[in-house]
Amino acid sequence: MPTDITGKVFKRIDGYKEDVVEMQRALTAIPALSPDSGGKGEWEKALRMKTYMDALGCFSAEEFNAPCPSLKEGTRPNHIYRLKGEDSSRTVWIMSHYDIVPEGDLKLWSSNPFELKVDGDFLYGRGVEDNQQGMISSFLAAKAIIEEGLRPKYDLALLFISDEETGSRDGIQYILKKKSNLFSKNDLVYVPDSGVDDGSRIEVAEKSIMWVKFTVKGKQAHASRPNFGVNAFKAASNLIVRLQTLYEIFGAENPIFEPPTSTFEPTKKEANVPNVNSIPGEDVFYFDCRVLPCYKLEDVISEIRKIADGIEKDFDAKVVMDYAQKEQAAPETDPESDVVKLCADAVKEVYSVEPRACGIGGGTVAAYIRKAGIPAVVWSKLNDTAHQANENCRISNVIGDAKVFAHIALSSI
């Protein structure tokens, strides 16, 4: 791309700092919570974004609103705004999400989470990073291109979805079911919803994710007469220790991930008996598995069941396994693919860092795109404060990310 074009577009984006603050202030004031989180949905935020998009003109709009009878509007919004490019043989997609997570413990916040706090380059509020930074930076990239009288090299589509935070059933999964041919294998998909503070990591792969709930059942008894009971806590504790052998059984390494191995970790523990002098008859704990894509989750489950069977035999207990989440990894995006190269070139130009392709533990909407056979990457320059109290982003990062997306949109490959 000629440097005079990028120079003009970048200079215009530099003038959008007040736009960043104004948009963040307006969007932060709208608690776009899923009905699963006790919220009223995403429609108010979607309508606010529509006013920004309509003010630019030039976009064609398409809606794939998912039915949701519990909401006043009856649906949850999923909107596509498409800007025609010089070449319509492929589309550059930038996908971000309307919904946020609840604010959590208000005592941990230094300000009202739904009133934007400005502190120099930092903006504080629920949603400012996750995912308003991505929404606003993609919008400003398109705004600069339009205001400079330019056209993107390929069609540019901004996709704003609902339900990312609570499973994507009414978001990207609904869209893919409603219109399976919406994305082309030639398309380039960017998801600005994860990243590091120097912008150097381009996520191209995710591990499989599985959350197992173990319910170990024994027989309650007085602690002074253990021979009359079956200590479910003791059996569960032994199960936890034996489950560590999964690290050896599934011991492959893939350096694209950090850490490079599969992980198998006990996490949440539910209370058992309320008193010290009773042997618990039931004990419940949870197990978080992040498995390299080279392994099938069904094989992991089979090995876990064998270990659980051994516990049942040795302790005369029963082990029940349930799954809070179970998602096989999508195929990884080729690190040498066009979608990665365009992103890497833009990041290097804007942030003067040498980005590298990487994998993460799992959990972004890019996985659904990859499973549909479309190359996708997850990238942004973030403070990594999503879901935390005092969630924040930098104005300079929103501006910089807008430049990266503008660079991608104006480049050909």
Q: Which residues are catalytic?
A: 99, 164
Question: 39: closest CA among 77, 70, 74?
Answer: 70
Helix or strand run (H / E) with residue 82: strand 79-83
How far apart, in whole angstroms, are the C-alpha atoms of residue 214 and residue 319?
7
How far apart, in whole angstroms, are the C-alpha atoms of residue 42 and residue 78?
9
How far apart, in whole angstroms, are the C-alpha atoms of residue 373 and residue 223?
57
How far apart, in whole angstroms, are the C-alpha atoms of residue 4 and residue 150?
13
Q: Is 178 helix (H, G, I), strand (E, B) or coil?
A: helix
Question: 161: closest CA among 218, 97, 209, 229?
Answer: 97
25: tokens are 């202030």
Q: Which residues sit opposite 67 in a β-bridge? A: 75
How far apart, in whole angstroms, are the C-alpha atoms of residue 203 and residue 378?
5
- Which residues have C-beta within 8 Å of that of residue 315, sequence separation ≥ 6? 218, 230, 231, 234, 235, 238
With 0-12 / 13-18 / 19 or more C-beta atoms within 10 angstroms meaning exposed / middle / buried, residue 49 is: buried
CA distances from 261 to 267, 332, 345, 397 (A): 18, 16, 29, 31
